[in-house]
């Protein structure tokens, strides 16, 4: 019975996933602006912003995300997980503070937070989701968090957090943290990578069980990836470690 139910859920999830998303074109944001709202292009909405010194010059830099609001990107869906699916994309951006005031755009990225293509998968960047996502600036780094939760078609839930440092003219990945819990059996796995020290911490256990087994390893010496080299933040598998958990 359980096997049959699992097969049904997987089939339903596949039906809910879309491979025919409406095409979109991504605007180039303004080069300079007085505040975050000044970078928002027409037809887009400022979704989240935070400030903090990212480039070490003592000035509070700006990190923000904009979300397109195009009705044509809200597509029909059914019969599972809602009548419509909002596939509107996002752009993450960093603007560095200028001595005379205002900000200068330093980078923008539209691949780390992927467009939604499955109505049964929660919006991973939504701070109000079951596993809340979002972004913030903390201790000179930018952290981007993606939640993972399926209302149908999968038992796993968890989060992925990317930690970036502004270095050599780009946002470069210095930390990766992954958690996963199987809702059907409580199995829990975690992965934490510090790309500065090259240390990797892998944990395995069960929810509510204090006996978590931990093992350590290292990643090879390689140049730090930029945010644009990561691609889809939900699909990225650093050094194949997620797939081997």
Q: Residue 214: inside a domain, yes or no?
A: yes
Average pLDDT over residues 141-156: 94
Does 22 score more than 70 pLDDT? yes
Q: Does 245 reside within a domain?
A: no
List, for residues 33-69, the tens digit of each pLDDT value. 999 999 999 999 999 999 999 999 999 999 999 999 9
What is the count of structural domains for the chain? 1
pLDDT given for residue 15 in this prediction: 46
Residue 110 inside a domain? The answer is: yes
pLDDT at residue 16 is higher than 60: no
pLDDT band at residue 9 using 50, 70 and 90 as cut-offs: very low
Asked if the structure places residue 145 within a domain, the reply is yes
Question: 39-45: long-range contacts at Cβ-Cβ below 8 A with a sequence spacing of 24 or more?
Answer: 39/64, 39/66, 39/93, 39/95, 39/103, 39/105, 40/66, 41/66, 43/68, 43/69, 43/70, 44/68, 44/69, 44/91, 45/69
Integer Cα distance of 231 and 165 in angstroms: 17
Q: What is the mean pLDDT of the chain?
A: 91
Across 7-26, average pLDDT? 65
Domain range holding 154? Answer: 2-240
Please check whether residue 124 lies inside any domain of the structure. Answer: yes
Phi/psi region, residue 64 (left: phi>0; alpha: psi -120 to 50; beta: rest), is beta
The pLDDT of 200-209, averaged and rounded, is 90
Report the pLDDT value the prediction gives residue 211, as an integer from 0 to 100. Answer: 79
Q: Is the dihedral of CA 56, 174, 224, 66 positive or negative?
A: negative
pLDDT value for 1:
37
pLDDT computed for residue 17 by the predictor: 67
- pTM confidence score: 0.91
pLDDT at 90: 98
């Amino acid at each position: 019975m359980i096997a049959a139910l699992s097969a049904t859920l997987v089939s339903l999830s596949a039906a809910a996933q879309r491979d025919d998303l409406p095409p979109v074109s991504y605007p180039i944001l303004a080069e300079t602006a007085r505040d975050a709202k000044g970078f928002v292009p027409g037809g887009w909405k400022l979704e989240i912003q935070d400030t903090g010194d990212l480039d070490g010059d003592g000035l509070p830099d700006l990190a923000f995300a904009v979300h397109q609001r195009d009705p044509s990107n809200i597509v029909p869906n059914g019969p599972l997980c809602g009548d419509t699916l909002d596939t509107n994309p996002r752009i993450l951006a960093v603007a560095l503070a200028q001595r005379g005031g205002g900000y200068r755009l330093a980078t923008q990225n539209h691949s780390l937070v992927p467009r939604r293509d499955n109505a049964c998968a929660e919006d991973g960047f939504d701070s109000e989701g079951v596993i809340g996502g979002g972004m913030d600036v903390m201790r000179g780094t930018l952290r981007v968090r993606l939640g993972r939760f399926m209302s149908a078609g999968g038992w796993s839930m968890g989060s992925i957090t990317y930690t970036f440092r502004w270095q050599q003219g780009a946002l470069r990945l210095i930390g990766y943290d992954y958690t996963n819990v199987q809702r059907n059996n409580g199995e829990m796995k975690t992965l934490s990578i510090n790309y500065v020290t090259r240390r990797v911490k892998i944990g395995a256990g069960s929810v509510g069980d204090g006996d978590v087994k931990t093992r350590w390893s290292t990643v090879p010496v390689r140049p730090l990836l930029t945010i644009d080299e990561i691609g889809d933040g939900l699909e990225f598998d650093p050094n194949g470690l997620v797939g081997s958990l």
